[in-house]
Amino acid sequence: MKPFDFIIIGGGIAGLLSAYELRDYNTLLIDENGILTSGASAAAGAFLFPKVGFDTAYTRFINQAIVDSLKFYEKEGIDTHKIGVTILPRDERDIEKFKQYEKDIRLPYEKRYGGFFFKEGGVVFPEEVREKIKVDFEIKKIDKLEKEGGFWKVGGYTAKNVILATGHKTVIDIPYINIRPIWGERIEGRGEFRIENEDGIKEDFLPCHFHKNCSLTEVGGIIKIGATHKRNCPECKENEEEAYELINKAKEIVDIKNFEISKIIGGFRAASVDYFPVVGKIIDVDKTMESNPKIVKGEVPKFISYLEGLYIINGMGGRGFSNAYYCAKALKEHIVGNKDLGILDTKRVFIKWARKKGEEYLKEKNVKS
């Protein structure tokens, strides 16, 4: 069988959109369970909300990803339920912070319900994304990755290039990537609420999506509430107690009565150390450390060696349904057009890791720094 141009491991939103971006090549997506059927992508509320904050590189990235992904989903005929979102301050301190953020907000907004309303706010349904974004796909668990004769061997296939999109799980150990799992839950159900709209009229439907300590929406009578919050909790599992905590958080936004839960779905999302996604070529740690031993003293590496044909797209954080489109597009442009990945590039996490842990690493390898 002819080697694939690309095999992508992981059928979450990051892997799916990477496979879609690379659909003009001979590309196969592999997941141990199915597309958007497990992992964080199955648990996600899939809200697409801007970030309110100071005008930092991170806020700019997040908000550009929101705008781009809304356009992308619409272009693909996926309903984004773009009725806008109101981001509310969580407490008194947040109210003060929001006043300071005001001058920094770049996206058009209005002040509503004590928070900021953005037209650029929507939600997608993973089931619809799966149905409309078609790629070649196979169910298989990948346990190892090997290189032979210039090709990667993956689950009985060969490929010129492999993209790792495995979320909080790993197929091979890459010491510097350092992805941390964060547990969260999404619940769905039916209930009743009354909310006063901008004209002081009480309505029994939500005029927009909301975000405070959780994200909240209602689509077609189904109320959807989501939040991710627990670090260091590998044993976390879906449970009703947490679901009711989440409903109480939603009640801080709007008074919901007679809520009947129909679904509780939990999952681990993957966060990088600095919250930016990690995208691009996988660095050959041994070769790069050995040729740049002064990196541990803060020197910028002169030459970085890569494991040829191996890439990653991960660390989507709590916003995978918007970040993944931006990152998948950037990854494709990087691979086929050699375009710079900027802040997303794996290089930044490697340099951070090398400065912190490199000394130890070199000692083990017996290399003088």
Count, residues in the chain: 369
DSSP 132-199: HS---EEE------EEETTEEEETTEEEEEEEE--TT--SS--TTT--EEEEEEEEEEEEEE-EE-TT
CA separation for the pair 123, 173 (Å, rounded): 34
The residue (of 128 and 299) whose beta carbon lies closer to ligand FAD is 128
CA separation for the pair 181, 334 (Å, rounded): 27
> Among 115, 121, 189, 226, which residue sits at the site for ligand FAD (rule: CB under 6 A)?
226
Q: Does 39 bind ligand FAD (CB under 6 A)?
A: yes
Q: Does 121 bind ligand FAD (CB under 6 A)?
A: no
Q: Does 12 bind ligand FAD (CB under 6 A)?
A: yes
Q: Does 47 bind ligand FAD (CB under 6 A)?
A: yes
- 268: number of CA atoms within 13 Å, CB side? 19
Cβ(217)–Cβ(81) below 8 Å:
yes
Q: Does 215 bind ligand FAD (CB under 6 A)?
A: yes
Q: Does 124 bind ligand FAD (CB under 6 A)?
A: no
Q: Does 141 bind ligand FAD (CB under 6 A)?
A: yes
Our CA angle for 9, 14, 16, nearest 5°, is 70
Sign of CA dihedral 44, 165, 170, 34: positive
Number of H helices, E strands in the chain: 9, 20
The residue (of 189 and 318) whose beta carbon lies closer to ligand FAD is 318
Q: Can you tell me which residue has the tokens 């690309």?
A: 6
- 181: number of CA atoms within 13 Å, CB side? 17
Q: Does 50 bind ligand FAD (CB under 6 A)?
A: no
The residue (of 206 and 289) whose beta carbon lies closer to ligand FAD is 206
- Which region among 93-101, 163-171, 248-256, 304-312 touches ligand FAD (by CB under 6 A)? 163-171
Q: Does 11 bind ligand FAD (CB under 6 A)?
A: yes
Q: Does 145 bind ligand FAD (CB under 6 A)?
A: no
| Strand 109-112 versus strand 115-118 pairing type | antiparallel
What binding mask, one character per residue, do residues 170-209 give for ligand FAD by CB under 6 A, x or -? -x------------xxx-----------------------
Q: Does 291 bind ligand FAD (CB under 6 A)?
A: no
| Strand 278-283 versus strand 306-314 pairing type | antiparallel
Q: Does 280 bind ligand FAD (CB under 6 A)?
A: no
What is the maximum alpha-carbon separation in the chain? Answer: 73
> Among 41, 59, 80, 86, which residue sits at the site for ligand FAD (rule: CB under 6 A)?
41
Helix (H) / strand (E) containing 215: strand 215-219
- 307: number of CA atoms within 13 Å, CB side? 22
Q: Does 318 bind ligand FAD (CB under 6 A)?
A: yes
What is the distance of C-alpha 222 from the center of its chain?
24
> Among 8, 15, 22, 179, which residue sits at the site for ligand FAD (rule: CB under 6 A)?
15
What binding mask, one character per residue, do residues 252-271 give for ligand FAD by CB under 6 A, x or -? ---------------x-xx-
Q: Does 120 bind ligand FAD (CB under 6 A)?
A: no
Which residue ranges make up the site for ligand FAD (CB under 6 A)? 9-15, 30-33, 38-41, 43-47, 141-142, 165-167, 169, 171, 184-186, 215, 226, 228, 267, 269-270, 314, 316-322
